[in-house]
Amino acid sequence: GAGVSQSPRYKVAKRGQDVALRCDPISGHVSLFWYQQALGQGPEFLTYFQNEAQLDKSGLPSDRFFAERPEGSVSTLKIQRTQQEDSAVYLCASSRGLAGSREYNEQFFGPGTRLTVL
C-alpha cells in the first residue's frame, strides 16, 4: 500500500492480558516511530527505530512495553500485563530520512490502533 498501515485498528483487552500491535511502514522508509495518544492529548513519543536498530526508547512508560523491528520493515509494539492506564491510541509513523535530515522530521502516520483495557 501507499501509506503506513496498522493492525488491528481496535483492540479490547482485559486487564493483565498481553497485546501485540503491528505497524507496516511505507516501503523504503528507514525511520520508524511509535507514539501513544491519550484522549484529548497530542501524540507522545514512545520509541524510534533506524532500520532494525532501536536507537531511542526513552518514551516507553514501563518495562511492560517492548518494541521490535527485526528486519528493518514491519514493527511490533508489545504491551505485557496491560493496565487500564494503557488505554490510548497507538500511532506508528515512518519517514525516509535519517536523524538530522529534514526528511527525517516529516513523518507519515498510520491510522492508529485504539486499545481499550477493561
Partner 1 sequence: DQQVKQNSPSLSVQEGRISILNCDYTNSMFDYFLWYKKYPAEGPTFLISISSIKDKNEDGRFTVFLNKSAKHLSLHIVPSQPGDSAVYFCAASATGTASKLTFGTGTRLQVTL
Binding residues vs partner 1 (CB under 8 A): 4, 31, 33, 40-45, 48, 55-56, 58-59, 91, 93, 99-100, 102, 104-112
Minimum gap (Å) between residue 13 Cβ and partner 1? 20
- Output the CA–CA distances (angstroms, integers) from residue 107 to 25, 43, 63, in the order listed: 11, 13, 26
Minimum gap (Å) between residue 35 Cβ and partner 1? 8
Residue 20 or 99 with smaller CB distance to partner 1? 99
Long-range contacts of 68-72 (CB under 8 A, 24+ apart): 69/32, 72/30
Minimum gap (Å) between residue 15 Cβ and partner 1? 25
* Closest listed residue to residue 37, CA positions, set 92, 76, 79: 92
Residue 18 or 103 with smaller CB distance to partner 1? 103
